[in-house]
DNA sequence: GTTGCTCATAAATCCAGCTTATGCCCTCAT
DNA sequence: ATGAGGGCATAAGCTGGATTTATGAGCAAC
């Protein structure tokens, strides 16, 4: 009776989750219906594919593929596993698209400057879509705050920018490509999570919160909105990154106010719960921006068209 | 000038994305501020950690951490990469939680039966949250259609079930834990994507669509809703899985009607666009269910409480 | 100055996974 | 029937990447 129970923290994730190559192979098998064909597509030999699938099945303790002399089909469990695997692969594709842009090729055809929030949460998805639609478009990404983005564009060092905020920076034209909203969140165990009535603005203002540091975009919006209600109370914690603030809130340190872009996953899995509030507008626009008069063309226009919802 | 451009399909993802162990290590470095501490936490030696980070930087072509004699901090690029990496790791955690449940331990304390859709898209997140709140709860997952879920519960072979549909199956009590909605989608290039007016129910009924096979939950809901408008036209394609239907729609084969749970990613990256329609209610409830009178207790109650939104 | 933390480098080792080379099974067509 | 072809499994040998141990060097605090 060692610690071989169905528990959780018995080792690094990498020992319990197959590597990307194996997951991609599984997706190929699901799509092509044959280990051999999947192997060929993946650029390995058939025995290698056979072995990889087998070791994946051993690792998970579940049969994934039903082999037959005329092909392979997924088992019921295999269908589920394959769908879960697809999530990992999609996240990896976003990572890859982002990382490639970060690398900053010399011969880049499209130079994008974006605020941190957008670069973190939205841009990778857009880059994946752009890659699907216009393969071979080399993209460079520069991340910085709104002022830095504006500066790059004015200096001609970027072709297209993305910023969040209430208005487009001076000297730049723009188009709204989406919205963001700050939400009040707590861990599910916090008393606020059991309230039925919305939090009043004044109560929110009077409560010590977990916040980003003064100067961050999130903090500025909140400061402005609560100014009419006496301004923010002394923060409970003041942290340098959205991630740190999120982690503190998840850990139950107290209520926080964060961008809904940053906490989708946490809300879905109920590591955080959203607390309704009233009398406040914590929306902000996400804008694509470009130098006044220089309407985007070429690759920049391609990317822009991806971001504009129907 | 080989194909070493900033393109896309120059090899398997695994060659351009670090493995899970490296990504976890990066997250640990970000959290702990030191390669050595991160190494210890990850269960490897300091030189191994140093090498892993270095090879990751070489792979991505970007510096990620700034080393100093009294610790390491992330670079600007490192912050972005770390956030993107976190997405992959979270997807891997969901995979792991799901896979472990699929394995079906003997000594399981909680046996869950769920419909495919819920097992695919929602359950892994719930299991991650459950693991965080009640570590050591061993969960077994059985996936099947609504009838199979009901059967398991009545036979006492499962403690808690999840089904989608308009009403709880006979003999079972239930509670709504969420909603699902069928949406009309096309590839962005499809003429419908440029329409401004919603699709009328009659027009939708008359159009050949990419659909799941007759008998699937999705198909049933759509059939029922369109019965009043002359019923569904002959399908354009009839496919055996949601994934296949999605792939066909993304490929531009035509319009499809799919669960919004299944296409979140595709909508966000605009590989698919949602087409508004009118005069139809394509909502369906997601319910937790249990044998009449046997209100869930223990681990089942823990899981149930996770799924009920505020 | 010494202790303690940080990280980098070097050399030896070890293991995991690949490829090549087979063999068996099944189906289909001749 | 009987061969041809596609599909998968097994065995053996090899290669390379990643790890560990051992050590050195830089900086800070006492």
Q: What is the pLDDT of residue B9?
A: 54
B51 touches strand C (CB under 7 A): yes
In terms of DSSP H, where are the helices of B66-122? 76-103, 116-121
Token pair for residue A219? 């903090």
pLDDT at A291: 93
A281, with CB counted inside 10 A (0-12, 13-18, 19+), is: exposed
B92 reaches A (C-beta below 8 A): yes
In the structure encoding, which two tokens stand for residue B264, read together? Answer: 């979140």
The residue whose CA lies nearest the C1' of nucleotide D22 is B47
State the best of A269, A288, A309 to mutate against chain B, taking most chain B CBs within 10 Å. A269
The string of pLDDT tens digits covering residues B259-274 is: 999 998 888 778 899 9
- Number of neighbouring beta carbons within 10 Å of residue A95: 25
Give the other-Cβ count within 10 Å of B69's Cβ. 4
User: What pLDDT is recorded for position B310?
Assistant: 46
CA distance A185 to B66: 33
What is the distance between the terminal CA atoms of chain A, rounded to a whole angstrom?
57
Cβ distance A135 to B9 less than 8 Å, yes or no, reads yes
Which residues 260-279 of chain B have a CB within 8 Å of chain A?
A: 265, 268-271, 273-275
The pLDDT, as a whole number, for residue B13 is: 92
CA(B263)–C1'(D20) in Å?
Answer: 46
List all residues 6 or more positions away from A299 whose beta carbon is below 8 Å from its beta carbon: A109, A110, A130, A134, A137, A139, A159
pLDDT computed for residue A1 by the predictor = 35
pLDDT digits (tens, 9 = 90+) for B139-194: 999 998 888 999 999 999 999 999 988 788 888 999 999 889 999 999 988 999 99
Determine the pLDDT at residue B10: 67
Nearest to A98 among B43, B84, B243 (CB): B84
Measure the CA–CA gap between B221 and B212, rounded to whole angstroms.
Answer: 11
The per-residue pLDDT for A90 is 93
**Which chain A residues have a beta carbon less than 8 Å from that of B179?**
none
Alpha-carbon distance of B6 to A97, in angstroms, equals 10
Contact assignment for A13 to B98 by CB distance below 8 Å: no
What average pLDDT does the segment A47-52 reach?
96
Q: Which of A6, A98, A265 sits opposite B80 (nearest CB)?
A: A98
Would you state the structure tokens that stand for residue B191, as one six-digit string?
A: 């003429």
Kindly list the structural domains of chain A, giving each domain's residue range(s) and its CATH number in brackets, ordered by start. Answer: 3-85 (1.10.10.10), 92-175+286-307 (3.40.190.10), 179-284 (3.40.190.290)
Instruction: Name which of B32, B26, B20, B88 is nearest B54 in CA terms.
Output: B26
- Give the count of beta carbons closer than 10 Å to the beta carbon of residue B33: 15
Identify the pLDDT of residue B191. Answer: 94
Ranges in chain B, pLDDT < 50: 1-8, 310
A310 CA: distance to closest CA in chain B (Å) = 7
pLDDT of residue B242: 87
What digits encode the pLDDT tens for the residues A229-271? 999 999 999 887 888 899 899 989 999 999 999 998 888 778 8
Burial of A47 (0-12, 13-18, 19+ CB in 10 A): exposed
Asked whether the predicted pLDDT for residue A93 surpasses 90, the reply is yes
Chain A: residue whose CA lies nearest to B272: A129
Please give the C-alpha separations between residue A211 and each of A254, B30, B83, B86, in angstroms, as whole numbers: 10, 19, 19, 21
CA–CA separation, B93 and B126 (whole Å): 11
Give A182-224 pLDDT, tens digit per residue. Answer: 999 999 889 999 998 999 999 999 999 999 888 777 888 898 8
Q: Cβ–Cβ of B274/A7 closer than 8 Å?
A: no
pTM greater than 0.85 (yes/no): yes
Lowest-confidence range among A93-107, A152-166, B5-19?
B5-19
**What's the confidence (pLDDT) of residue B7?**
36
Closest residue to C17 measured CA to C1′: A48
**Helices B46-60 and A76-103, interaxial angle, to 10°?**
70
B5 to A129: CB separation less than 8 angstroms, yes or no: no
Which of chain B's residues have a Cβ under 8 Å away from the Cβ of A95? 17, 81, 84-85, 87-88
| pLDDT interval class at A96 (50, 70, 90) | very high
What pLDDT is stored for residue A309 in this prediction?
Answer: 58
Across chain A, what does the average pLDDT equal? 89
Token duo for residue B20: 């899970």
Sort out which chain B residues have CB atoms less than 8 A from A270's CB and list them.
Answer: 126, 129, 306-307
């Amino acid at each position: 009776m060692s610690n071989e129970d169905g528990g959780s923290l018995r080792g690094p994730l990498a020992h319990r989750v197959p590597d990307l190559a194996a997951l991609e192979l599984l997706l190929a098998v699901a799509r092509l219906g044959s280990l051999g064909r999947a192997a060929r597509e993946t650029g390995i030999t058939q025995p290698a594919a056979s072995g990889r699938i087998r070791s994946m099945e051993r690792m998970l303790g579940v049969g994934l593929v039903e082999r037959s002399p005329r092909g392979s089909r997924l088992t019921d469990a295999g269908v589920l596993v394959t769908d879960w695997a697809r999530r990992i692969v999609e996240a990896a594709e976003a990572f890859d698209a982002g990382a490639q842009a970060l690398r900053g090729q010399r011969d880049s055809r499209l130079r994008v400057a974006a605020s941190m929030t957008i670069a973190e949460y939205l841009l990778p998805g857009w880059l994946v879509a752009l890659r699907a639609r216009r393969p071979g478009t080399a993209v460079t990404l520069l991340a910085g705050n709104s002022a830095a983005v504006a500066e790059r564009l004015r200096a001609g060092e970027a072709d297209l920018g993305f910023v969040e905020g209430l208005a487009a920076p001076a000297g730049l034209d723009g188009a709204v490509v989406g919205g963001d909203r700050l939400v009040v969140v707590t861990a599910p165990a916090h008393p606020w999570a059991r309230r039925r009535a919305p939090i009043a603005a004044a109560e929110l203002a009077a409560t010590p919160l977990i916040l980003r540091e003064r100067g961050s975009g999130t903090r500025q919006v909140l400061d402005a909105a609560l100014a009419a209600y006496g301004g923010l109370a002394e923060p409970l914690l003041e942290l340098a990154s959205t991630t740190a603030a999120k982690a503190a809130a998840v850990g139950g340190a107290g209520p926080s106010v964060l961008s809904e872009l940053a906490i989708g996953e946490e809300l879905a899995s109920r590591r955080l719960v959203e607390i309704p509030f009233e009398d406040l507008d914590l929306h902000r626009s996400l804008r694509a921006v470009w130098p006044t008069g220089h309407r985007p063309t070429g690759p920049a226009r391609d990317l822009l068209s991806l971001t504009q919802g129907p």
